[in-house]
Amino acid sequence: MNLIPEIEKYIREVHEFKAKNPEDLEQFRIRFLGKKGIVPEFFKQFKEVPPEQKKEFGQHINQLKQLVQERVNTLRHSLKKHQTKHHYTDLTLPGDPFVPGSRHPLSIVRNEIISIFSRIGFTVSEGPEIEDDTHVFSKLNFPPDHPARDMQDTFFIEKDPDGESRHDVLLRTHTSSVQVRVMENQKPPIRTISPGRVFRNEAISPRAHCIFHQIEGLYIDTDVSFAQLKQTLYYFSRAFFGPETNVRFRPSYFPFTEPSAEMDITCMLCGGKGCNVCKYTGWLEILGCGMVDPNVLEFNGIDSEKYTGFAFGMGIERIAMLKYQINDLRLYFENDLRFLEQFSADF
């Protein structure tokens, strides 16, 4: 029994086959490769072939099987391409729903804050997150023994050969380092805000995180006063939170400003009644501020006898908590879509 001529006949048939549509192609595939198709039947007959013909018979069966598979794949691709090319859309059908993406709430708040200060002449300055002691501490009038230099607050990222931490390469703890770089490279008048990510070695809780975002502002010119600082911050708070926002200033201390203050607004989460976020005081601190210390001006090559200035800084997470009434800032970093999709309408 010699089945090789029959196999060769099928090989010629496969070469000549053309499919007009996917249905024809599927019938062709089933005829040759289906469970009871031509190729499986030839394999069943393999055991009945004389030993001297088995090698040649096996080669012809494999050639037929491979040829059918290649022909099916080629024709399937050709039909798909042909259908795509001549596909016409029914314009009377309703359109597919468009689901807009969303910005992260911190990006939304950051952009809004920048927009408010841009209206009154502040430009945006940015700087590196990996900094040195000079720009983060020394030129901002931090004494050598200031607690902020301690490892409990600052991430130092470079070590000596003996394994001891060096205090000159670190992750910035505030964006005031950007203000230092601006003062080094720009002569007054200076009016700039510095948004960015900062790092502090703190325990993570609903009110604190080791990574957070700040926006700090700096204004240096002749005859700058504390009254101008207050009016600038009144303008911001009412533009951002609304014209009825209540504001208060409390004396405070920062190494780089003198006098210094902290600004509070009525807690918008509880309406001033007291909650765990505002520590049941009804007030929530949103920023620190003050007049630039003359030492800072001198350290950065600015004549403190001629120029004065004010500075302020706020945490974007805290502002976003108030805007969206979020009581746990850890939500900002968890990438939970159920949380993030709530901001799809805010840009």
pLDDT in tens, 248-304: 999 999 999 999 999 999 877 777 788 876 788 888 889 999 999 999 999 999 999
pLDDT for position 270: 77
Backbone angles phi, psi at 107, to 5 degrees: -70, -40
pLDDT for position 210: 87
100, HSE (Cβ side, Cα atoms, 13 Å): 8
pLDDT for position 244: 82
Q: What is the pLDDT of residues 47-58, one digit of tens each?
A: 777 888 778 878
Cβ atoms 71, 31 nearer than 8 A: no
85, HSE (Cβ side, Cα atoms, 13 Å): 6
DSSP label of 144: T
Distance CA 66, CA 8 (A): 13
Burial of 221 (0-12, 13-18, 19+ CB in 10 A): middle
Q: Where are the alpha helices (DSSP H) in 157-313?
A: 176-185, 226-241, 294-299
To which H or E segment does residue 56 belong?
helix 54-85
Q: Tokens at residue 110, please?
A: 């950051």
Beta strand pairing call for 211-221 and 308-315:
antiparallel
Residue 209 pLDDT level (bands cut at 50, 70, 90): confident
Q: What is the pTM of this model?
A: 0.67
Q: Which of 249, 224, 221, 250 is nearest to 234 (CA)?
A: 249
Q: How much is the average pLDDT of 4-28?
A: 86
In Å, how far are 24, 37, 136 from 16, measured between CA atoms? 14, 19, 78
